[in-house]
Amino acid sequence: MSSSHPVLVVGSVALDTVETPFGRREELLGGSATFFAYAATPFAPVRLVSVVGRDFPAEHEERLSQLGIDARGLERADGETFRWTGRYEGDMNVAETLDTKLNVLGTFDPKLPADYRTTPFVFLANAHPANQLSVMDQMETRPAFTVCDTMNYWIEQELDGLREVLRRVDGVVLNDEEARRLTGERNLIRAGRAMLDLGPKVAIVKKGEHGAFLFSMLDFFALPAYPVDSVIDPTGAGDSFAGGLMGSLARAGRVTLARLKRAMIDGTVMASFAVESFSVERLASLGEGEIRSRHEEIVQFLSL
């Protein structure tokens, strides 16, 4: 990892309460930036920017440090940490949100430490487009590769700001419903291609247990999901996919279509591990050999 380029993530750090057919767990470590960082750190150094309240458990912050995640950009603000409560029932691809309390995240204005502002690989996790634009404005050098995520709420409520973000990033990662909502195209292939007209060079559409699609002006690539036989908690799967993807690219130090395809495999691997436990428990215990073995399995799936 010493030769890897660093990757910056700006997003949420949360305390989640999750209920699945496998039980209910309260006050779990969660949030988009958290899952991303845990999934990216086996591949590259991670710099994390987010905000938590005074109630955020010290052991969670200590664990970030123990994993080598640079959390100098994690702000502690007066108030309570962002909390999300969700439930998964029959279709484990879809969460029923029971409660969301933005708390300190509602007024978060991301501020990048000085040395973060030249980070070559940047992931703008799901957030208000104004915050995503603020991060890009703070960068002192143009990153080698910037990718954003979003959600239906911003598509519906902040479309102008989101369009400006999309004009300025290199890539976008969305799930299938978000891609359809953003483009107005029900056919997923047309939706993926339509996203490229909004500015990004590449668009990746996630389809949960059905895999992911890569769209660019030059190529189209479909990748199956890794077959996991016990999905315990899917909460962080999408952000873990993004973490594996961006970490893999940062380790390579360059972005080509061939590297993007391999990075998507790494993203799929990390997402497959993330769903095997509540919170980041499985990601936290991973060994390099496990990651490599599952990557090679997927490569074998693709070989005829």
Average pLDDT over residues 107-126: 97
Domain limits for position 171? 7-302
Q: Which CATH number characterizes residue 269's domain? A: 3.40.1190.20
The per-residue DSSP string of 14-45 comes to: EEEEEEETTEEEEEEEE-HHHHHHHHHTTTS-
The pLDDT of residue 2: 43
CA angle at residue 74 from 71 to 79, to 5 degrees?
150
Distances (CA, A) of 247 to 42, 43, 210, 288: 8, 5, 22, 14
Kindly report the pTM of this predicted structure.
0.96
In a domain, 84, yes or no: yes
**Whole-number pLDDT of residue 263:** 97
Count of domains in the chain? 1
> pLDDT tens digits, residue range 195-209?
999 999 999 999 877
Q: Would you call 56 exposed, middle or buried from its count of C-beta atoms within 10 A (0-12, 13-18, 19+)?
A: buried
In-domain check, residue 1: no
2 lies in a domain?
no
Q: Is the pLDDT of residue 287 over 50?
A: yes
Which of 167, 158, 100 is CA-nearest to residue 129? 158
Looking at residue 304, its pLDDT comes to 57
